[in-house]
Amino acid sequence: MVILEDIGKNYDNFKMKNFNLKIEKGEFVTLLGESGCGKTTLLNIISGLTEDYDGEVYIQGEKTRGKSPKEKGLSMVFQDSLLLPNLNVEDNVAFGLKMMGISKKKRLEKARDVLKELGLGGFEKRHPYDLSGGQKQRVSIARALVMEPKLLLMDEPFSALDEGLRGKLQKLLKKIQKKHKSTVLFVTHDRNEAFYLSDKIAILDNGKLAQFDTPLNLYKKPSSPFVAKFIGINNIFTGKIKDGIFYNETIEFPVKFSEAEKVCLALKSEDLRVTLEEKTDGNEGVFKGIVKDSSFKSGFYHLDIDIGGECIEVIQNRVEFPIENHMELYIRYNKDNIILI
């Protein structure tokens, strides 16, 4: 178990105070947020690269302040592979074990086993200059895993790779992490990567923990408009509810929530459907709107529709009629799918 307790750190234009987080043994946890939100600050504090901070970091019940990464039981993987150019692949992977005094026979056996798991069997005698970017990063991951760390820190390890290769390595990492039951703290600004890899995600906002939950719960129950917007929910409305109707200065629509003077609601784009008919069933509501923009990307239609002073986004994989800009249509929604934030 890894515990961050009341962590604090100040810079000229950044302040983190009383930051708390708990990572269970074997969990894959991701720090997710925009640049400057505190992800790297936390990673530096945990690793020991930053020593001047408030609070405490515990790894398996022990305080880590003042200890080296080796003493803490940490391994790290960075965006750059940082392999030793004068060593071949298996010696790069086994280097940490060598520093621990492990015999050559045993450390090379362990290195070769991990390399096979990462699809690099047969690459043992190659040097870093013979490897592609993806292969180098797999060697870097092997070098970290072979140490059997108490905590594996990964700082945007796939961000420099092309999309196709990044997806393959994400899939491989997820498989190996589950097999070894490794405890991982991963840093990224890519929410799709975070949602795919993680058991839990910590969303950071300017040094604060905005929400810490499973990917599914983040998607279904975002705790704030910031979290909802950050995970890709763009239809967010602020207003009042009275007599089963949500309204603000520009729109109104029926909901199933109790009366409220100030409320924030969200509608996921993929929960909406466009139609040419206004007809709905008893649990549905409908907006009338005009198409402002439309596109087709990765098998889905993306529509921006003006519903009378507010713009709503619709994403769906199938449309029964041709879509043109400036055309009038209706947007149907299920009242049960509205999120109360």
- 67 in the same domain as 202: yes
State how far the Cα of 203 lies from the Cα of 322, in Å rounded to an integer: 39
- 193 in the same domain as 121: yes
Domain-ending residue, one of 223, 244, 276: 223
- 240 in the same domain as 209: no
Cβ(128)–Cβ(136) under 8 Å?
A: yes
Cβ(202)–Cβ(22) under 8 Å?
A: no
Q: Say how many CA atoms lie within 13 Å of 252 toward its Cβ.
A: 9
Digit-coded pLDDT (tens) for 83-129: 999 999 999 999 999 999 999 999 999 999 999 999 999 999 999 99
Tell me, what's the pLDDT at 241?
94
Question: Beta strands 200-205 and 252-254: pairing type?
Answer: unpaired
Domain-ending residue, one of 170, 192, 223: 223
- 102 in the same domain as 247: no
Domain-ending residue, one of 178, 197, 223: 223
In a domain, 126, yes or no: yes
Tell me, what's the pLDDT at 143?
96
Cβ(79)–Cβ(136) under 8 Å?
A: no
- 18 in the same domain as 116: yes
Digit-coded pLDDT (tens) for 178-205: 999 999 999 999 999 999 999 999 999 9
- 28 in the same domain as 143: yes
In a domain, 115, yes or no: yes
CATH number where 248 lies: 2.40.50.140
Please report where in the chains the tokens 């140490």 appear, as a residue.
Answer: 147
In a domain, 264, yes or no: yes
Using a cut of 0.85, tell me whether the model's pTM lies above it: yes
- Which residues neighbour 204 within 8 Å (Cβ) at sequence distance 6 or greater? 31, 32, 33, 37, 38, 39, 210
Tell me, what's the pLDDT at 308?
86
CATH number where 111 lies: 3.40.50.300
- 264 in the same domain as 187: no
In a domain, 276, yes or no: yes
In a domain, 228, yes or no: no
Q: Which residues of the chain fall short of a pLDDT of 50?
A: none
In a domain, 146, yes or no: yes
State how far the Cα of 138 lies from the Cα of 175, in Å rounded to an integer: 13
Number of domains present in the structure of the chain: 2
- 112 in the same domain as 188: yes
- 135 in the same domain as 95: yes
- 75 in the same domain as 165: yes
- 252 in the same domain as 175: no
Give the domain extent around 189: 2-223
In a domain, 326, yes or no: yes
In a domain, 43, yes or no: yes
- 92 in the same domain as 38: yes
